[in-house]
């Protein structure tokens, strides 16, 4: 359509004796768009980080491999963690209730023994009391039986308390050692880096023997079948952009081709450094082959009009004034604009002759 418009302009262009170029507004279609640039990213793409520091011991995958969620990617070496794990296992085995069953049996048997002795002494005291009531025996014998009962009763209570305390101590020690073992296992699992998604290993940034920390990425993983477009939109244009608007995309990797996408996400927070907003779009007609971080340029379609009165933008002063062929300056009102043309809402007709203003 732009080529047709240039042809029309050439037809409307003519020279007078002073060789001054003259132009007339012409009806044609125009599309207003917002320029944006960005990079292609894989859907679900994420940088892989280690949860612990250590040197790389084993790499289980290579670039281009497909992985499932939970598959191991890299294992780290850490001797301290292994020793802690072994100590935790030994402590758990030592503190286990089953391992301390002999101690519990001994405490229970002693409690039963003290209980039997208390019953016997109670019976002997009762018997001595009956004899005393019949004036048989001495006061000393009665008091001795009573003292024996009280001592055995105290011994039984003490044995019962010790038995209960031992059960609690063993249960507490067993639970604590199991918790420590679970923590050690969790810490040890942190030394195996696993995939968080089903996807492809796009890149590996480290080699065997390299030291890694939780602050440095070790790999890049994403979905190789679906890609998205992340673009930066200037703060002056962001209010024109809405969800579901079409984006026409050009990539150096596909010279001469234009791909269509649709906006599906607009970040509500501006990047203070670049003064831009992050906008995401999904391909409508995705190219057959893509890779993460391919760059692109896009035009977000804001509005389109099939028949509009247009003039080249270089005929305008400050986007509001044009100069007629007779030298008169005219105030105009503009509508849609693209990089080359502007729609005239009022101030001109298709019969007006314009010349380039001196700027």
Looking at 189, 218, 248, the residue that finishes a domain is 189
Tell me, what CATH number does 276's domain have? 2.40.30.170
pLDDT of residue 142: 83
Domain identity same for 256 and 325 = yes
Mean pLDDT of all residues in the chain?
A: 84
Domain identity same for 281 and 358 = yes
Residue 103 lies in a domain: yes
pLDDT of residue 7: 40
CA 231 → CA 8, 36, 42, 226, 334, distances in Å?
35, 6, 14, 17, 28
For the chain, what percent of residues have pLDDT higher than 90?
Answer: 40
Q: 16 pLDDT band (50/70/90 cuts)? A: very low
The mean pLDDT value for 282-295 works out to 93
pTM for this predicted structure: 0.58
For the chain, what percent of residues have pLDDT higher than 70?
Answer: 83
Which residues is 279 bridged to in the sheet? 231, 266
Residue 51 lies in a domain: no
Q: What pLDDT, in 10s, does the model give residues 56-93? A: 989 999 999 999 999 999 988 765 555 555 655 556 55
Question: Which residues in 110-126 are b (16+ Cβ under 10 Å) and which e?
Answer: bbeebbebbeebbebbe
**Tokens, residue 112:** 């039963």
pLDDT greater at residue 264 or residue 181:
264
Domain identity same for 17 and 90 = no
Residue 67 lies in a domain: no
pLDDT of residue 248: 93
Domain identity same for 236 and 359 = yes
Domain identity same for 247 and 342 = yes
- What DSSP letter does each residue of 37-68 carry, written as one string? EEEEEEEEEEEEE-SS-EEEEEE---TT-EE-
User: Which of 265, 209, 199 shows the shortest CA–CA distance to 48?
Assistant: 199
Q: What pLDDT, in 10s, does the model give residues 96-120? A: 556 667 777 888 888 889 888 889 9
Q: What pLDDT, in 10s, does the model give residues 28-62? A: 988 888 999 999 999 999 999 998 888 898 999 99
How is the beta sheet containing 211-212 ordered, strand by strand? 192-194, 72-77, 54-59, 211-212
pLDDT of residue 13: 44
Report which listed range, 184-188, 256-260, 334-338, is most confident: 256-260
Contact 220, 202 (CB under 8 A): yes
Domain identity same for 256 and 333 = yes
Domain that holds residue 285: 1-45+228-359
Looking at 169, 189, 209, the residue that finishes a domain is 189
pLDDT of residue 192: 87
User: Which of 314, 319, 347, 325 shows the shortest CA–CA distance to 22?
Assistant: 325
In angstroms, the CA 15 to CA 22 distance is 7
Could you give the 3-state DSSP secondary structure of residue 312? Answer: strand
Say yes or no to pLDDT of 8 above 50.
Answer: no
The mean pLDDT value for 297-321 works out to 89
pLDDT of residue 336: 86
Say yes or no to pLDDT of 137 above 90.
Answer: no
Residue 62 lies in a domain: no
Residue 320 lies in a domain: yes
Residue 89 lies in a domain: yes
In angstroms, the CA 321 to CA 318 distance is 7
Mean pLDDT is lowest, of 135-139, 188-192, 199-203, for 188-192
Residue 8 lies in a domain: yes
Domain identity same for 271 and 325 = yes
Q: 244 pLDDT band (50/70/90 cuts)? A: very high
Residue 68 lies in a domain: no
pLDDT of residue 239: 93
The mean pLDDT value for 10-15 works out to 43
Q: What pLDDT, in 10s, does the model give residues 260-277? A: 999 999 999 999 999 999
Number of domains into which the chain is organized: 2
């Amino acid at each position: 359509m732009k080529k047709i418009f240039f042809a029309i302009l050439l037809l409307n262009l003519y020279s007078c004796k002073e060789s001054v170029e003259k132009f007339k507004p012409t009806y044609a279609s125009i599309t207003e768009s917002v320029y944006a640039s960005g990079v292609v990213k894989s859907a679900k793409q994420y940088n892989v980080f280690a949860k612990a520091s250590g040197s790389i011991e084993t790499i289980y995958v290579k670039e281009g491999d497909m992985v499932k969620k939970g598959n191991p990617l890299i294992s780290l070496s850490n001797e301290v963690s292994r020793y802690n794990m072994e100590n935790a296992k030994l402590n758990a085995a030592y503190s286990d209730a089953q391992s301390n069953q002999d101690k519990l049996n001994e405490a229970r048997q002693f409690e039963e023994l003290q209980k039997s002795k208390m019953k016997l002494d109670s019976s002997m005291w009762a018997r001595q009391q009956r004899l005393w009531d019949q004036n048989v025996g001495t006061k000393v014998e009665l008091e001795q039986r009573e003292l024996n009962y009280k001592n055995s009763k105290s011994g039984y209570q003490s044995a019962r308390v010790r038995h209960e305390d031992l059960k609690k101590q063993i249960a507490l020690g067993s639970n604590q050692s199991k918790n420590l073992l679970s923590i050690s296992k969790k810490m040890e699992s942190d030394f195996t880096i696993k995939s968080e998604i089903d996807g492809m290993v796009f890149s590996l940034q480290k080699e065997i023997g390299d030291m890694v920390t939780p602050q440095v990425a070790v790999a890049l993983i994403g979905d190789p079948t679906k890609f998205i477009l992340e673009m930066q939109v200037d703060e002056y244009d962001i209010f024109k952009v809405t969800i579901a608007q079409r984006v026409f995309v050009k990539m150096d990797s596909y010279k001469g081709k234009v791909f269509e996408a649709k906006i599906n996400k607009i970040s509500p927070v501006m990047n203070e450094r670049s003064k831009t907003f992050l906008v995401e779009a999904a391909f409508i007609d995705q190219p057959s082959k893509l890779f993460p971080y391919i760059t692109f340029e896009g035009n977000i379609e804001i509005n389109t009009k099939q028949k509009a009165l247009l003039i080249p933008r270089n005929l305008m002063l400050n986007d509001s004034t044009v100069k007629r062929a007779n030298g008169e300056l005219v105030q105009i009102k503009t509508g849609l604009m693209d990089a080359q043309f502007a729609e005239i809402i009022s101030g001109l007709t298709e019969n007006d002759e314009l010349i380039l203003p001196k700027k």
